A = this chain, B = another copy of it.
Amino acid sequence: MKLAFLGTGNMGAPMALNLIHAGHEVTVYNRTLRKTDPLAKAGARLAQSPADAVGGADVAITMLANDQAVREAMLAANAGQRAAIDALARGAVHMSASTISVAFSKELAEAHTTRGQGYVAAPVLGRPEAAAAKKLWIMAAGPPDQVDRCRPLMEAMGRGVTIVGEQPWRANLAKIAANFMLASMLETMAEAFALIKKSGTDVHPFLEILNALFSSPVYTNYGQIIAGGQFEPAGFRLTLGSKDVGLALAAAQDAAVPMPLASLIRDHYLSAIAHGRGDADWSALAEVVARDAGLA
């Protein structure tokens, strides 16, 4: 297929590379050009603008930081050029892999439908290493025929796909809820470890207990990070984690669902940001909990 790929950062670059390796014809665009070099070497065409990138594409994939970045890439008409969405062909599909808000996903769906284009939300679970290793888990939603068209692309980038529903925003909601599950696990560990540390008890046996209890690589991984206070370099930046909890609260507000734990995490992330830790790993919310307990 002819593909456009917008956003070749830590996550997007390995994803695009896997698409190239799978034999697709990929045109990439990134605001910072330097990040596209390795892709060009692998055979990608470099586009000068989003509109340029998506021009002849069957499927345009976006992998960007937030609503605003997707809005700028797809909907904004910059510098006299038409917006990418207007350059995308009728019948082509926008496959949005970014973690965006439910509200914006609904807006995108309407914008594409109006133009006779397809729109599939396909956010991904996994860190950059997982993206490189083709081990992402993809949650997709959209009209079944459009999802089917995108499925080979998903399979080229991940180890599995869950179909969430026929309205694209449902996949975004699932992704937001999944990230909330992770952030809650971080808060939980932060409190448990603060209790154990402040009582003067070694945390390593507790890590072993968590492994025995959950048998989950996610607990093992974050348990070690939090126990050791290894919040740099960030695997996933705290400001992004904070943004994602905000997306959960925004969706919860629209649906009139109280999520007091999400509120608690939001407040802890704000405290971390107030203490200048926005660029640390999102598990550094453990520092907030430790500080509140008077731990150094």
Contacts and interface: CB of A to CB of B under 8 A. Distances in A.
Contact of A258 (B184, B255, B270): B270
B173 A257 contact: no
Contact of A274 (B189, B251, B271, B294): B294
Interface residues of A, number: 74
Q: In the A-B complex, list the 5 residue pairs whose CB atoms are closest, starting with the nearest.
A: A274-B294, A216-B216, A263-B263, A258-B267, A184-B188
Interface string A220-238: 0000000000000000000
* Chain A, interface SS category: helix
B262 A264 contact: no
A171 to B, nearest CB: 9
Contacts of A189: 181
| Copies of this chain in its oligomeric complex | 4
Given A195-B252, A259-B267, 15 more contacts: A125-B209, A170-B201, A174-B196, A174-B209, A177-B196, A181-B188, A198-B256, A198-B257, A198-B274, A213-B218, A214-B214, A256-B274, A257-B274, A258-B267, A260-B264
A187 interface: yes
